[in-house]
Amino acid sequence: MKFDRYYISAEIKKNLARLGFKRPTDIQFKAIPSILEGEDVLAIAQTGTGKTAAFAIPVIDKIHRYKSSKRSYGIKCIVMVPTRELALQIGDVFKSISAHTRVKVFTLYGGVEQERQIARLQDGIDILISTPGRMFDLINQQEIRLDSVSTLVLDEADHMLDLGFIEDIKYIKKMLRGKHQTLFFSATINDEIKKLAYSQVRSAAIRIQVSPKDRISKNVSHFVMFVEMDDKRFFLQRFLQDHPEGKVIVFVRTRVRAERVLRALKRVGIEAVSIHGDKDQTERSRVMQSFREGEQRILIATDVSARGIDVPDIEYVINYDLPEKVENYVHRVGRTGRGVNKGEAVSFCSSEEKPLLEAIHSFIAKPIEVLNVDKKTYVDTTSTPQSLDALVAEHEAWLSGAGKKSKKSKKK
């Protein structure tokens, strides 16, 4: 069923058409009707499945229909998210879908001055998208009132749990004393997430799980190369030189590593930018804007910022360091191959990281394809780095040859 046949306001339909939304994704098809009916929803859906629009469309439609003018009489919906980047990303989606409606959206986060934020809140808003820290600061200052809140959305709940926000979630829930709808969205599910989810939604909540057998999108080709820790910079340099066009995200484990890799690239004349928790919000926003708009094509990032990076035309992901949490492998490689686009991810695995690789294999329930590097190639790459394109081509040629041999043997 197409969006133009949904029972939602004409203004929202026009916005969806302008944004290129024709048919709902699986999570949107399953979640939107239940949310419009006022049901609590517990949804498990991977990043890149369109889950933000799955709750944004019905939430905006309900508020738009309820209001008779642009004037706001208190916050109707709170969307809690774990990071500033994710708040900004979700805020952009809400603003695009609510354009030309009676709904006023505001994104709130820390790292910037409060005064302008307070002034905007005092002007009146309907939907507040916020990280927990700044929101609780302003609640305690009595600048945010929750009397009118009828919908609470908890997005990326698994990540909020990882960052220690579980008590914040419980606290905000207790503060909503009136009848309200709770929408709980998470990319992954485990016993801890289940326990949290069931404590937040009504027992009759609609449960939706959109999790394909393969945790990695079919649009992403992902490989692993066995590279020692001190040699990773050579392979990264070669890859970036072999791919002079297209956006690339390089994931590292720590903030210190991010800056170290950035300096190493600059020493060999490769321009890049970095994003991590040590940068203030103004700098992080500037970096993301330059990357999104193509002024900078190489972004070095830590896992904290991984889920807030929603740039549709990222062609390559490099796992310079393997993630310590297996779920983050899925989130990292999910930055490429979004929508109908194809993408490629290459992970560098050192000897000491092999246990992490085994854990990732178990989590995604299949081994990652190995790009084999012979001794001579390895030496050549770390002295006068050889093309990683050539390695991929060799590997694909080998696979093709192996496939032909197996077909011949079957004929015999």
How confident is the model over 303-327, as pLDDT tens digits?
A: 876 665 778 789 999 999 999 988 8
Token pair belonging to 240: 């970036």
User: Would you say residue 336 has pLDDT above 80?
Assistant: yes
Domains 3-210 and 220-400 share a fold: yes
User: Would you say residue 403 has pLDDT above 70?
Assistant: no
Which helix or strand (DSSP H or E) is residue 288 part of?
Answer: helix 281-292
Domain spans in the chain, listed from the N-terminal domain onward: 3-210, 220-400
Q: What is the mean pLDDT of residues 26-35?
A: 93
Q: Is 289 helix (H, G, I), strand (E, B) or coil?
A: helix
Contact status, residue 274 vs residue 287, Cβ threshold 8 Å: yes
CA distance 354 to 65: 55
Which helix or strand (DSSP H or E) is residue 42 part of?
Answer: strand 41-45
CATH of domain 220-400: 3.40.50.300
CA distance 352 to 220: 26
pLDDT digits (tens, 9 = 90+) for 57-114: 999 999 999 998 888 989 999 999 988 888 988 999 999 999 999 999 999 998 888 9
The count of residues in the chain is 412
Contact status, residue 72 vs residue 125, Cβ threshold 8 Å: yes
Q: What is the mean pLDDT of residues 259-271?
A: 93
Distances (CA, A) of 118 to 70, 77, 385: 19, 17, 54
Which helix or strand (DSSP H or E) is residue 222 part of?
Answer: strand 220-226
Token pair belonging to 227: 């590279």
pLDDT for residue 402 = 57
Contact status, residue 277 vs residue 302, Cβ threshold 8 Å: yes
User: Would you say residue 10 has pLDDT above 70?
Assistant: yes
193 against 250, higher pLDDT: 250
Q: In what order do the strands lie in the sheet with 343-349?
A: 273-275, 298-301, 247-251, 314-319, 343-349, 220-226, 369-370
The CATH class, in words, for 3-210 is alpha beta
Contact status, residue 74 vs residue 145, Cβ threshold 8 Å: yes
Token pair belonging to 22: 């024709």
The DSSP secondary-structure symbol of 368 reads P
Q: What share of the chain is helix, strand, coil (3-state, %, to 5)?
A: 50, 15, 35
pLDDT for residue 260 = 94
Contact status, residue 238 vs residue 208, Cβ threshold 8 Å: no
CA distance 135 to 113: 13
CA distance 409 to 262: 50
Q: What is the mean pLDDT of residues 27-42?
A: 93
pLDDT for residue 386 = 47
* φ, ψ of residue 76 in degrees (nearest 5): -100, -25
79 - beta bridge partners? 129, 153
* φ, ψ of residue 171 in degrees (nearest 5): -65, -45
Token pair belonging to 409: 């043997």
CA distance 230 to 253: 15
pLDDT digits (tens, 9 = 90+) for 199-231: 788 778 888 887 666 778 888 999 999 999 999
Q: Is 70 helix (H, G, I), strand (E, B) or coil?
A: coil
- Does this model's pTM top 0.75? My answer is no
344 - beta bridge partners? 221, 316
Q: Is 41 helix (H, G, I), strand (E, B) or coil?
A: strand
CA distance 99 to 96: 5
Contact status, residue 207 vs residue 42, Cβ threshold 8 Å: yes
CA distance 62 to 116: 28
